[in-house]
C-alpha cells in the first residue's frame, strides 16, 4: 500500500467495510454490494488507497469462499446431498455445457479462433459462488426451490473448474511455447504432476476416501480430546487447521479446495461438534468474504472501461442476457415455477470468481492473449458487482409484477357442524386449545387456511375445515351466529386483524380470544376491540421464572404469587402503554416508571407475607407432577 505497511492496509480495508456496508444495508442494497462499493472507492480507480496489491488480497480472501462452502456442507445432511444428485449433475452439467456452447459460438462469430472461443465460453459459464450464496442467505432464500437449484449448479461449476484447468493446455494456440502451467490458486498439483493418468486417479480417489474416513472416525475423537481442555482458542485453531489442511491437500492433488472442504463439511454434518465448528469459523468466513468482495470492487479496471465504454457495456449486457436466457430455459425444462425460475436465472446471470484464476491460466498457456483476457476480466468483475443490484431489482420490481403465479385457490369446505367455539388456525397454539376444550366436553369447529395442513390433520383423524375465517359467509356457515367464542390462533397478524374486524362487525356477540406474537401485535388487537389477548411467550417465561425462584429457595406459594402479581401488573401496563406507543419519549418514561413500580410491589409482598402462610404449598402433592401421583 505504497509502502505504509500491513497496518495501514488493514486500516483502509476495515474502515471501508465498516462505513460502506451499514450504509448499503440501510439502503436495502445488501452487504455484498456494500463491500463492492467500498472496494471501488478505495481502489486504484477511486481514491487510490490501494494498488496492485489488491490482487494479492483477492487470492488470500478467496479462502473465504472455501470456508463458506465448508459451513454450507455442515448444514447439509448426506442424505439431503444424495437427494440433490439429480440437480447437481443434471441442471449443473446442462448449465455449464449450454452456456459454454452459446458463448463460444458468439465469440467465434465475433472473430475469435475456436480454442480461444471455447475457453472463453467455459470460463464465462461459471457464476459467483461467493456473491450469490451470500445474497441468497441474507434474503433467506437458500431453502427455496430456486435457492436449492442455484446451490446445485454452483457446486457443479466448482467441480467443473478441475477439467477446465486440464483442458486449457490442450487448447493452447502454440502448445510448444506454453508458459508456466502452475497458474494460481489450486492449479498447482506438484504431488501428481509426474504420475501417469491411472495413478493420478488412484491418488485422487484415495485422498477423497481418506477425507471421508477421517471425518467419520478420526476427527470426532480429536475434537473430543481438544474440547476436554476447555480452551476455546485451541478448538478454534483446530477448526481452522481442519479447513486449511484439507484445502492444501486438495490443492496438491489438483482438485478444488472448495470442493474438498465442502465434502468435509458434509461428512461432519451429523457431528456433535457441528455447531461449535460453525460458531468458530463463521467470523473468519465473513471477514475473508468481505475482503474478497472489496478486492473484486477494487479490481475493476475503470480506465479500460472508460477507454472502451461501449464495448464493455455491450459485453456485460450480453453476458448477463445470455446466461439469464440459458438458465431460464433450463429452469423451464426442469418445470420450475415462474417466480422461482426468475430468481434462479437472475442468481446465475454473472461471471464467477474462479474465472479470474482461469483467465490467468489461459494467458499463461497462450490459449488467449492478454488483450482479450483483460477486457473479459473487467466484464466478469462488473457483472459480479451488478449482481446484488440485479437481484434487488428482481425482488422489488419484476417478481411483484410478473414472477409470482399462485396456485388456483382451493374452494372453502362445506361446513356441516356447529359448535359453541370456533378456532381459526390449528397450529401449535390452536391445537392445544382445541384438545383442551374437547377433552372437557366442549365442541369446537376448526377453520384452517393452509390446505396442506388441512389434509395432514385429516389423515391424523381430526375434523378440520379449509377456509378463511375473515370471510363473513364462512363464519356464518361455521355457526358464528349461535357460537359463543371465536379463538384466533393464526400466525399472520394482518389476517388476524381482518378476522377481528369481520367478527366485530357481523357477529358482535362473539367473545374473541387472540394470540399475539409480541407487545406490538397485542397493542393492535387491543385497539381493535379484542379484550382477551395472549402473548405467546408470557406464560412460558413466567413458568420458567417460577421454577427458577423455587430452585433458589423460594416457597412454592411465594413463587406463584410473584408470577401472578407480575402477570396482572404487566397486562395492566400493556393496556395503558398502548395509548403512548406513538410517543417515544412518553412511552419510555412511563414504561420505566411501571418497571420500578413492579419491582417495589414484589419486594413489598415478599417482605409483608410471612413464610409459614405458604408452607402447605410445598407438600409432596403439590411438588410432584400430576402424571406421577398415585
Concatenating the DSSP letter of every residue in 110-170 gives: TT--HHHHHHHHHHHT---HHHHHHHHHHTT-TTSHHHHHHHHHHHHHHHHHHHHHHHGGG
Element (H or E) spanning 466, and its range? strand 465-466
Please tell me the predicted confidence (pLDDT) of residue 400.
63
- Residue 91 is given by DSSP the state I
Residue pLDDT, tens place only, 346-375: 888 888 877 876 786 787 778 888 788 878
CATH number of domain containing 240:
1.20.1530.20
Q: Tell me the sheet residues that pair with 424.
A: 447, 488
Please report where in the chains the cell 480507480 appears, as a residue: 45
The C-alpha atoms of residue 617 and residue 598 are separated, in whole angstroms, by: 24
Copy the grid coordinates of residue 552: 433458589
Q: What is the mean pLDDT of residues 412-417?
A: 62
| Mean pLDDT score across all residues of the chain | 77
Q: Does 113 reside within a domain?
A: yes
Q: Does 255 reside within a domain?
A: yes
State the sign of the Cα–Cα–Cα–Cα dihedral 229, 231, 236, 240.
Answer: negative
**pLDDT higher than 90, residue 98:** yes
The C-alpha atoms of residue 426 and residue 349 are separated, in whole angstroms, by: 42
Exposure string over 347-370, b if 16+ CB within 10 A, otherwise e: bbbbbbbbbbbbbbbbbbbbbbee
**pLDDT higher than 60, residue 410:** no
Q: If we measure between CA atoms, which residue out of 466, 482, 464 comes closest to residue 474?
A: 466
Q: Does 301 reside within a domain?
A: yes
Copy the grid coordinates of residue 368: 488467449
Domain C-terminal end among 351, 368, 401: 401
The C-alpha atoms of residue 517 and residue 534 are separated, in whole angstroms, by: 8
371 and 222 within one domain: yes
| Residue 599 near residue 541, CB atoms below 8 Å | no
Q: Does 410 reside within a domain?
A: no
**pLDDT band for position 319 (50/70/90)?**
very high
Q: What is the mean pLDDT of residues 310-329?
A: 91
Please tell me the predicted confidence (pLDDT) of residue 78.
62
Lowest-confidence segment of 161-170, 336-345, 426-435 by average pLDDT: 161-170
State the sign of the Cα–Cα–Cα–Cα dihedral 153, 158, 159, 164.
Answer: positive
Q: Does 408 reside within a domain?
A: no
> Phi, psi at residue 27, to the nearest 5°?
-85, 0
Copy the grid coordinates of residue 582: 406513538
| Residue 352 near residue 133, CB atoms below 8 Å | no
Please tell me the predicted confidence (pLDDT) of residue 3.
45
573 and 499 within one domain: no
In the Cβ-directed half-sphere of 565, how many Cα atoms lie within 13 Å? 18
Q: How many domains does the chain have?
A: 3
How distant, in Å, are the alpha carbons of 93, 251, 327, 353 from that of 126? 11, 20, 12, 8
Q: If we measure between CA atoms, which residue out of 473, 552, 486 comes closest to residue 525?
A: 486
Please tell me the predicted confidence (pLDDT) of residue 256.
66
467 and 376 within one domain: no
505 and 359 within one domain: no
308 and 207 within one domain: yes
191 and 74 within one domain: yes
Helix, strand, coil percentages (3-state) for the chain, rounded to 5, are 70, 5, 25
Lowest-confidence segment of 280-289, 372-381, 408-417, 570-579 by average pLDDT: 408-417
Domain C-terminal end among 463, 483, 515: 515
Q: What is the mean pLDDT of residues 376-398?
A: 82
- Residue 617 is given by DSSP the state G
Q: Does 159 reside within a domain?
A: yes
630 and 494 within one domain: no
The C-alpha atoms of residue 414 and residue 420 are separated, in whole angstroms, by: 18
| Residue 172 near residue 178, CB atoms below 8 Å | yes
Please report where in the chains the cell 406459594 appears, as a residue: 557
In the chain, how long is the greatest CA-to-CA distance?
Answer: 99
CATH number of domain containing 511:
3.40.50.720
- Overall pTM surpassing 0.75 (yes/no): no
The C-alpha atoms of residue 586 and residue 592 are separated, in whole angstroms, by: 10
Helices assigned H by DSSP within 334-369: 338-347, 354-364
Please tell me the predicted confidence (pLDDT) of residue 593.
83
250 and 165 within one domain: yes
**pLDDT band for position 478 (50/70/90)?**
confident
Please tell me the predicted confidence (pLDDT) of residue 416.
63
Residue pLDDT, tens place only, 178-207: 344 333 444 444 566 666 767 777 877 888
Q: What is the mean pLDDT of residues 515-535?
A: 84
Write the CB contacts of 52 (distance below 8 Å, at least 6 apart in sequence): 44
| Residue 508 near residue 500, CB atoms below 8 Å | no
Q: What is the mean pLDDT of residues 580-603?
A: 78
359 and 291 within one domain: yes
Q: What is the mean pLDDT of residues 143-156?
A: 82
Q: Does 102 reside within a domain?
A: yes
Q: What angle is formed at CA 480 by the lines to CA 477 and CA 483, rounded to 5 degrees?
A: 130
Query: Where in the sequence is the domain holding 362, given as residue range(s)?
Result: 6-401
SS (H, E, C) 504-518: HHHCCCCEEEEEECC
State the sign of the Cα–Cα–Cα–Cα dihedral 333, 338, 339, 342.
Answer: positive
Concatenating the DSSP letter of every residue in 421-435 gives: EEEE--SHHHHHHHH
The C-alpha atoms of residue 490 and residue 488 are separated, in whole angstroms, by: 6
The C-alpha atoms of residue 356 and residue 330 are separated, in whole angstroms, by: 26
| Residue 326 near residue 305, CB atoms below 8 Å | no
**pLDDT band for position 14 (50/70/90)?**
confident
Domain C-terminal end among 372, 401, 430: 401
487 and 563 within one domain: no
Helices assigned H by DSSP within 440-555: 451-459, 472-477, 493-506, 519-527, 538-551
Copy the grid coordinates of residue 41: 472507492
Question: Count of CB atoms within 10 A of residue 340's CB?
Answer: 22
The C-alpha atoms of residue 498 and residue 470 are separated, in whole angstroms, by: 6
Q: If we measure between CA atoms, which residue out of 587, 550, 537, 542 comes closest to residue 566?
A: 542
**pLDDT higher than 60, residue 620:** no
Q: Does 529 reside within a domain?
A: no
| Residue 349 near residue 323, CB atoms below 8 Å | yes
336 and 211 within one domain: yes
| DSSP tally for the chain: helices H, then strands E | 29, 6
323 and 427 within one domain: no
Please tell me the predicted confidence (pLDDT) of residue 403.
46
Copy the grid coordinates of residue 403: 414472477
State the sign of the Cα–Cα–Cα–Cα dihedral 364, 365, 370, 375.
Answer: negative
Amino acid at each position: 500500500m505504497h509502502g505504509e505497511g500491513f497496518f495501514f492496509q488493514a486500516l483502509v480495508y476495515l474502515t471501508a467495510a465498516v462505513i460502506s456496508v451499514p450504509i448499503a444495508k440501510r439502503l436495502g442494497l445488501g452487504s455484498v454490494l456494500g463491500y463492492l462499493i467500498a472496494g471501488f472507492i478505495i481502489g486504484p480507480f477511486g481514491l487510490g488507497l490501494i494498488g496492485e496489491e489488491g490482487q494479492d488480497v483477492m487470492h488470500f480472501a478467496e479462502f473465504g469462499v472455501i470456508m463458506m462452502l465448508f459451513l454450507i456442507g455442515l448444514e447439509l445432511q448426506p442424505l439431503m446431498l444424495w437427494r440433490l444428485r439429480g440437480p447437481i449433475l443434471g441442471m449443473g452439467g446442462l448449465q455449464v455445457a449450454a452456456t459454454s456452447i452459446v458463448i463460444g459460438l458468439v465469440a467465434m462469430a465475433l472473430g475469435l479462433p475456436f480454442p480461444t472461443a471455447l475457453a472463453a465460453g467455459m470460463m464465462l459459464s461459471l457464476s459467483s459462488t461467493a456473491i450469490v450464496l451470500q445474497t441468497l442467505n441474507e434474503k433467506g432464500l437458500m431453502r427455496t426451490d430456486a435457492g436449492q437449484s442455484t446451490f446445485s449448479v454452483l457446486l457443479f461449476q466448482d467441480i467443473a473448474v478441475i477439467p477446465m484447468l486440464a483442458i486449457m493446455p490442450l487448447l493452447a494456440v502454440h502448445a510448444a511455447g506454453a508458459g508456466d502451467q502452475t497458474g494460481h490458486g489450486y492449479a498447482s498439483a506438484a504431488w501428481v504432476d509426474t504420475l501417469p493418468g491411472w495413478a493420478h486417479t488412484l491418488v485422487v480417489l484415495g485422498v477423497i476416501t481418506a477425507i471421508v474416513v477421517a471425518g467419520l472416525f478420526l476427527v470426532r475423537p480429536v475434537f473430543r480430546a481438544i474440547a476436554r481442555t476447555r480452551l476455546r482458542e485451541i478448538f478454534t485453531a483446530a477448526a481452522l487447521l481442519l479447513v486449511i489442511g484439507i484445502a492444501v491437500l486438495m490443492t496438491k492433488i489438483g482438485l478444488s479446495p472448495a470442493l474438498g472442504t465442502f465434502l468435509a463439511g458434509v461428512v461432519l454434518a451429523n457431528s456433535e461438534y457441528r455447531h461449535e465448528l460453525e460458531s468458530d469459523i463463521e467470523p473468519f468466513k465473513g471477514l475473508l468474504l468481505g475482503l474478497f468482495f472489496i478486492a473484486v470492487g477494487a479490481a475493476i479496471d475503470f480506465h479500460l472501461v472508460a477507454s472502451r465504454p461501449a464495448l464493455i457495456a455491450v459485453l456485460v449486457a450480453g453476458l448477463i442476457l445470455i446466461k439469464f436466457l440459458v438458465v431460464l430455459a433450463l429452469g423451464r425444462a426442469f418445470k420450475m415455477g415462474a417466480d422461482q425460475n426468475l430468481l434462479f436465472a437472475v442468481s446465475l446471470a454473472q461471471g464467477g470468481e474462479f474465472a479470474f484464476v482461469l483467465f490467468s491460466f489461459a494467458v499463461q498457456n497462450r490459449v488467449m492473449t492478454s488483450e482479450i483476457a483483460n477486457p473479459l476480466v473487467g466484464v466478469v468483475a462488473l457483472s459480479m458487482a451488478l449482481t446484488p443490484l440485479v437481484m434487488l431489482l428482481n425482488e422489488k420490481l419484476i417478481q411483484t409484477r410478473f414472477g409470482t403465479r399462485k396456485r388456483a385457490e382451493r374452494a372453502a369446505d362445506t361446513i356441516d357442524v356447529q359448535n359453541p367455539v370456533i378456532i381459526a388456525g390449528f397450529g401449535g397454539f390452536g391445537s392445544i386449545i382445541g384438545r383442551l376444550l374437547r377433552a372437557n366436553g366442549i365442541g369446537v369447529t376448526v377453520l384452517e387456511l393452509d390446505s396442506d395442513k388441512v389434509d395432514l390433520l385429516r389423515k391424523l383423524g381430526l375434523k378440520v375445515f379449509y377456509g378463511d375465517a375473515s370471510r363473513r359467509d364462512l363464519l356464518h356457515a361455521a355457526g358464528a351466529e349461535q357460537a359463543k367464542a371465536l379463538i384466533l390462533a393464526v400466525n399472520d397478524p394482518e389476517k388476524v386483524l381482518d378476522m377481528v374486524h369481520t367478527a366485530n362487525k357481523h357477529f358482535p356477540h362473539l367473545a374473541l380470544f387472540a394470540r399475539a406474537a409480541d407487545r406490538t401485535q397485542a397493542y393492535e388487537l387491543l385497539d381493535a376491540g379484542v379484550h382477551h389477548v395472549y402473548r405467546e411467550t408470557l406464560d412460558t417465561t413466567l413458568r420458567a421464572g417460577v421454577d427458577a425462584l423455587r430452585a433458589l429457595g423460594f416457597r412454592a406459594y411465594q413463587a406463584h404469587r410473584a408470577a401472578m402479581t407480575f402477570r396482572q401488573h404487566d397486562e395492566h401496563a400493556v393496556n395503558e402503554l398502548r395509548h403512548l406507543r406513538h410517543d417515544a419519549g412518553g412511552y419510555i418514561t412511563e414504561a420505566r416508571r411501571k418497571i420500578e413500580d413492579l419491582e417495589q410491589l414484589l419486594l413489598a409482598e415478599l417482605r409483608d407475607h410471612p413464610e409459614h402462610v405458604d408452607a402447605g404449598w410445598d407438600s409432596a402433592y403439590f411438588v410432584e407432577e400430576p402424571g406421577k401421583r398415585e
